[in-house]
A and B are shown apart, each in its own frame.
Chain A
Amino acid sequence: MKVVLENLTKRFPGRSKKDADVIAVNNFNFEIPDGQLIGLLGPSGCGKSTTLNLISGLETPTAGRIMFGEEDVTSLPPEERGVGLVFQNYALYPHLTVEQNIIFPLQNLKGDKKMTKEAMHDKAVEVAKLVQIDHLLERKPKELSGGQQQRVAIARALAKIPRVLLLDEPLSNLDARLRLQTREELRRIQRDTGVTTIFVTHDQEEAMSISDLIVVMKDGVLQQIGKPQEVYDEPVNLFVAQFLGTPQINVFDGAVRNGKVWIGDEAVLDVSGKPDRPVWVAIRPEGFIPDENGAFTCSLDRVEVMGRDVTVVSTHPKSTGRNIRSIVSAEYRINQGAATVRFNLKPAKVHLFDKESEERV
């Protein structure tokens, strides 16, 4: 099911008359193609959960429209939208068994959709098999591990064959190892069912690794939407560039003069055809090539050996961060005793942003 958000806005009244309204979601426009896995990404408080609640119908928008396919669902209550929602802490009913939890949505069906007990049981077994918990149907939620509980929550959301599956921070309650496994699972389940899935996360790695498309938000405003690699390679503004990627992108106070990028008194890169102006120079950690005669000189702090590659930690007076982290292949031999280290830069890994608007130049 294609999901379209048109001028979607959600405004929460301020706590008192004096306080300004909080605009959690500000004039959103985007289209989610059918059958894709979408990661809604942003720092906490950016309105991503509110967006999810608007799509599920738990919140009503202040303005704008939500379309599922050709149907306008803006004024429909949640139960009539046919969405499956997985909560951050799963919200499994603790007094019901796994099977009872899964068939709960089915028991609510009315009219000609009503199912017999046998049909419900079969359906429960079917979705339980899909998420690989079919051996746990008789258990209570508290007898399950965190990962198993999450699978139950997904099974419950899938049982009624939702038009859209929504997941709120689905992996945040799992430990690191389980998180990796579960995100693969999520991807597999989404592929197997083909249901349009939107999940919310503040973890950029999580979003990048499994999403077909990522939507980056900040302060209720949509920043960028695109394929993970595209957004990473072509960030539209400084915020997106800084939010995506670990280690974080290195940002320098620089300028464009005479077709060259200047950091301090070094011209580090050719950019012919761009007008002169002060800019933020953002360089991905993998954008550095150590070179004894390199154009860019930094003070060497230390070298962290990771085996496959090496992280060079250095400093520069124009850097906005405390350290500059550059990841280089272990083939380069860095003299750890040297006071400085020189780099050449990969043009594709260097992004320039306007000093004022922080938009990409």
Chain B
Amino acid sequence: MKQNNLKAWLYLLPAILFLGVFMVYPLVDVCIYAVEENYASIARTYTGIGFGNFRDVLSDKLFIQAPKNTFILVVITVPLSTGLSLLIALGLSSIKTLKKAFQTIYFLPYVTNTLAVGLVFMILFDKTEYTKGLVNLLLHTDIDFIDGEYWMKMMVTCLYTVWIVMPFKILILTSALASVNQEYYKAAKVDGATNSRIFWKITLPMISPTMFYLVITGFIGAFKAYSDEVALFGTNLNAAGMNTIVGYVYDMLYSDTGGHYGNAAAAALILFAIVFTITYINLKFSRNKVQYM
């Protein structure tokens, strides 16, 4: 028995080492950094243990903007992208001709580089000395989407985020729809259910686990937003007023005024707390709504 235990640990060792070095240690370290006040990275000294870093972060004007942006992004893009994806997936599963072609088109953003997509959005929205941008030309407007008003920038960000997260959701939803037993539809049809009733009473409950999974991962993904904003507005997100929580963490570590390990760690933990709370609420809320077969 003892022999076996030793062997078992030996087998587990590579995974434990790997996870320990790259997962557990950093997690613990983040918590330590977060409570060490006024940590100086070169001298490796700190003045005390406490919640000073959290106080600093929460009173930082730049930080206040970040969660606000993140929240707006989450609240707009998660329902919008999930709903649109469901509509497109429903459409895809009901057409026969050119199905594969449409599936490929809708999946393209998934395999396209974020920065390349950013470039395309620049062409669509950016005003330069030479052009007003494609969208302005089409709409006959003169709006500065990239360096102008806050809500214009936010709209472009949301559009970008929705567009980039949709392919994955469409893919997952298409397969979820395909896995619904066709007999339920036949039974409902014989029983005289209308298409909308079939959708609300059968299709939606049957794919609710998938919907729930997409909403949860959508929330988490949107809270972690950063690279999309960089692709649109460049690395100085604070100047654009479009910073996110992850962006703030990055700035604290690596920007010109960086090196604030304690503040970065505190901000990261605040993000964790927010994501954790939202996911917990989601789980509680959906317990009665989601059907697991």
Contacts and interface: CB of A to CB of B under 8 A. Distances in A.
Contacts of B181: 91
Interface stretch (B123-131, B188-196, B215-223): B188-196
B241 interface: no
B79 interface: no
A87 B187 contact: yes
A83 B202 contact: no
A104 B187 CA distance: 10
Nearest to B202: A93
Interface string B176-213: 00000101101111111110010001100110100000
B291 A91 contact: no
A160 B184 CA distance: 17
B190 A78 contact: yes
B42 interface: no
Interface core residue of B189, B192, B193, B201 (most chain A CB under 10 Å): B192
A89 B186 CA distance: 12
Interface residues of A, number: 24
A79 B192 contact: yes
B189 A78 contact: yes
A95 B183 CA distance: 15
| Main DSSP-derived SS at the B contact region | helix
Contact of B184 (A80, A91, A156): A91
A108 B191 CA distance: 7
Given A94-B291, A95-B205, A95-B206, A108 B190 contact: no
A57 interface: yes
A108 B206 contact: no
A79 B191 CA distance: 6
Contact of A89 (B183, B192, B197): B183
B192 A108 contact: yes
Contacts of A85: 186-187, 190
Interface string A37-57: 000000000000000000011
A142 interface: yes
B111 interface: no
Contacts of B201: 93, 104
Nearest to B205: A95
Given A91-B181, A94-B291, A142-B293, A58 B186 contact: yes
A149 B97 CA distance: 38
A108 B193 CA distance: 5
Contacts of B183: 87, 89, 91
Contacts of B291: 94-95
A58 B185 CA distance: 11
Interface core residue of A79, A89, A95, A107 (most chain B CB under 10 Å): A95
Contacts of A58: 186, 189-190
Given A58-B186, A91-B187, A108 B205 contact: no
A109 interface: yes
A105 B192 contact: yes
B49 to A, nearest CB: 52
A307 B142 CA distance: 98
Contacts of B192: 78-80, 105, 108-109, 160
A80 B191 CA distance: 9
B184 A93 contact: yes
Contacts of B208: 95
A140 B206 CA distance: 14
Contacts of A105: 191-193
Interface in A101-137: 104-105, 107-109
A80 B192 CA distance: 7
B190 A104 contact: no
B184 A83 contact: no
B153 to A, nearest CB: 42
Interface string A48-88: 00000000111000000000000000000111100111010
A108 B194 contact: yes
B179 to A, nearest CB: 13
A160 B192 CA distance: 10
Contacts of A87: 183, 186-187
Contacts of B202: 93
A160 B190 CA distance: 11
A38 B104 CA distance: 49
A78 B192 CA distance: 7
Interface core residue of A77, A80, A105 (most chain B CB under 10 Å): A105
Interface of B: 181, 183-184, 186-194, 197, 201-202, 205-206, 208, 291, 293
Q: Top 5 A-B pairs ranked by shortest CB distance? A: A79-B192, A105-B191, A91-B183, A95-B291, A108-B192
26 contacts: A56-B190, A58-B186, A58-B190, A79-B189, A79-B190, A79-B192, A80-B192, A83-B190, A87-B186, A91-B181, A91-B184, A93-B201, A93-B205, A94-B206, A95-B205, A95-B208, A95-B291, A104-B193, A105-B191, A105-B193, A107-B197, A108-B191, A108-B192, A108-B197, A142-B293, A156-B191
Given A56-B190, A58-B189, A108-B191, 11 more contacts: A57-B190, A79-B191, A85-B190, A87-B187, A93-B201, A93-B205, A94-B206, A94-B293, A95-B206, A104-B188, A142-B293
